[in-house]
Structure 1
Amino acid sequence: MAVDPFSSVDPASSGSTDLRGALNRLRLVTGLPLAFAGLVEPGPGQLRISELHGNRTTSLSGLSVHSGNGLGGKAVALARPCCVTDYSSSRQISHEYDAAVAAEGIRSVLAVPIVVRRRVRGVLYGALRAPQPLGDRTVGAAMEAARDMEQALVVRDEARNLLAAARPPEDGSPGAWEEVREAHVALRALAPRIDDPELRQELLQVCGRLAGAATTDTPGPDAPAPPAGPRVALTPRELDVLSCVALGATNATTADRLGLRPETVKGYLRSAMRKLEAHTRLEAVVAARRAGLLP
């Protein structure tokens, strides 16, 4: 019976770490006293404020904003930045959330949507407690922070798709295991791009479970033998390189995929071969699979 190493993995988690990073950068660049953000929840365009920096009250924390309502809802509906100089008296927006905004003392507000593949996934806000215009520099910084968040969500989406595909095959066919190995390489290459340490660690744990599944399942006559003797300790980059080599990639292709120089790839490969007591690339791959390091 095939194991499922992914039952506890949730790559589509809230992204709070990414939001916090975006808000930190926004306040650092602009000097805004208050910045907050939230992601759109599943359903009919409902945004929930989940991260606040510089707030004095909890009036905005957990606030649900519906598409079209208030400034953030308008940004969601139009998929473009929106700004008001005096929130409570503005005729450009509806006023469902005036009480929460007033409790925080907010007057001038900017809302920038986070758009991924033409779909609004969240909103970043910057605010002042005085009715002063927010200049082009502030608007530009907020849009840059939103783009950073968009890239983070793209990476999360990619991780989710890879995790959905990277399951040990039930039929154990060689072709199916090649797909698993391809997903394993992609996951290892993706992990360093993820800022959220918890999600990054989850991806690496799944990579380890995939490698272990190749030795604990019984995918067929070509399956590697169970690990024997002491486990070889390869560094993360040595495993990255060896994973690419296992798919037949050249040093140049491996370097391009991992963002390394070909000479660096050669160094990691030599080190891995030495630890695995292998004389060729193929021997190194076989030894790594027998040790449960690669699927």
Structure 2
Amino acid sequence: MKYLHIHGVGKEISRLIMGTGDLRKLEEPELTMLDAYIAAGGNTFDTAHQYRNKEIILGQWLAEKNLRDQVVILTKGAHHDDGSPGPRVNPQAIRKDLTESLERLGTDYVDLYALHRDDPSVAVGPIMEELNEHIRAKRIRAIGASNWAFHRVQEANEYAASHNLIGFAFNSPNLSLAKANEPRWEGCVSADEETCLWHASKQLPLLAWSSQAGGFFSGNFSPDNRSEEEMVRVYYSENNWERYRRAVILAEEKRVTPIQIALSYVLHQAFPTCAIIGPRNPEELQISMQSMNLLLTPNEIEWLDLKKEEFAQ
């Protein structure tokens, strides 16, 4: 496993982050998957208040294994569809969601806390003031944003810097080799070229969700297969099929699979990245581990992303 550091967190963070969105209950095969992740050197779990019982399951498992002090928990709050309808990016919702997340997880702090959605009509000042209250109370170690446009992240950090507050230490939008035609879910943000350039200039860590584009590079999809409506809506485009074609070519050369090429692409950006993954079994976890150790050159990255017509062999 490889790791990176996020300011404020006392532990190194594994670059492959285990998603918990598919956790259903505290028994096999979920336990096998979590155990395999820890055995592989993984130590970071992604969850959210909006996932409801997923936080409870994760918290119970960590308690049973006595692992809380050894792992990093990333949870999120202030989702629009969590509780009262409409935008919920405000101090009251943040306070409520964080309090309930801590109770569900059975812990008195989370290592990483992100706002699950944004409401651009809300000023960043009260949001950063509220989050810093929880940092001072040691309920949060580091704060970040999920599904915020990069200019809003910058605005929030500029406010924090000018008011002697702690700013966002990470960002967590969607980032994958396949580019989304439109948001996968309402209010979601994908990292476009401008966002990536901004991250490169700031060197702000990016924790990518849907890092494997919902399995777009798995070989289970084709331009003629339009049975999966969400995949067609979000990822089917001429440019993405060309990216897939190039991933196949490079995978054959490196004797790996296209989906491993796609995950390695996320982990070889010009700024620190982690990939949130959702393997269904230990075998899929090993495939992701191999992707993490698969080297891609900057030239290959640009070629995969259609920025070059050819790459040097």
Q: Please give the TM-score of this superposition, normalised by the length of structure 2.
A: 0.30
Q: Please identify the structure whose Cα radius of gyration is greater.
A: 1
Q: Please give the TM-score of this superposition, normalised by the length of structure 1.
A: 0.31
When you count helix as a share of all residues, which structure comes out higher? 1
